[in-house]
Structure 1
């Protein structure tokens, strides 16, 4: 016997992440990105974004680390966010050595600025105390 079909044909909505970013750039340009990382990819070098970013892992696992927070593994079906602005994004690499990881990111950026702003070695050194120590 088949279960009865749901009478209401409305979609079901599930909140996966709700945050209040510290700011949204004036006249923000909002973009949605698909990031596909091959097995073992370290991701982008340390960088920052001009505005907040919100992500959802579609497949695999990523190592996610922003300034002031410990590195953590975000798995398929989980979310992450970062405030952007002055905060350094240290890691976004694929945590899997044998499979691709894919995730969506919605970013609110300052128009006409690069989406990813690299952080140089001198700045990393000057802000070393803001990075949460990694377990050995």
Structure 2
């Protein structure tokens, strides 16, 4: 007889600070076509937890180096003032798909664009980019 207890594997965890009050929790699937640069620099109003189902994601948050996240890996971003610079499909020959769970105050948009002037003013906070 097999064990009826489900197998649970921790994919990631994060300490979320400064979040209180009513919240909407939204789960979305995001599909990026081959080579897609993803969305323009933006912020999220609250934390985001994500899991890559397929492909590879070139991911960059303010103050952190670019990283490649691969299928089967989880990641998170704190939301708030941190700029999300990129979440691009790192592959030119196949799609990248992820599931994201986003927390926000009721009625807020999931993505808040960052204007060019603010990007320039905060450029010193961006991690140095790889040469190339």
Aligned match of 2:118? 123
Contact 1:24 1:108 in 2 (8 A): no
Aligned length: 131
The DSSP-based 3-state class of the residue aligned with 2:100 is strand
Over the residues paired in the alignment, what is the CA RMSD in angstroms?
Answer: 0.9
Q: Deviation at 1:24?
A: 2.5
Which residue, out of 28, 31, 36, partners 2:23?
A: 28
State the distance in 1 between where 2:27 and 2:18 align. Answer: 18
1:99 aligns with 2:97: no
Indicate the larger mover: 104-113 or 38-47.
104-113
Correspondence 1:78-97 to 2 at 5 A? 78-97=73-92
State the distance in 1 between where 2:84 and 2:20 align. Answer: 18
Q: Deviation at 1:100?
A: 0.3
State the distance in 1 between where 2:110 and 2:83 align. Answer: 13
Aligned match of 1:51? 46
Q: Deviation at 1:25?
A: 4.6
State the distance in 1 between where 2:20 and 2:50 align. Answer: 18
Q: Deviation at 1:9?
A: 1.0
TM-score under structure 1 length normalisation: 0.93
TM-score under structure 2 length normalisation: 0.96
Correspondence 1:2-81 to 2 at 5 A? 5-6=1-2, 8-81=3-76
Q: What 5-or-longer segments of structure 1 have no aligned partner?
A: none
Q: What 5-or-longer segments of structure 2 have no aligned partner?
A: none
Tell which structure's C-alpha radius of gyration is larger.
1
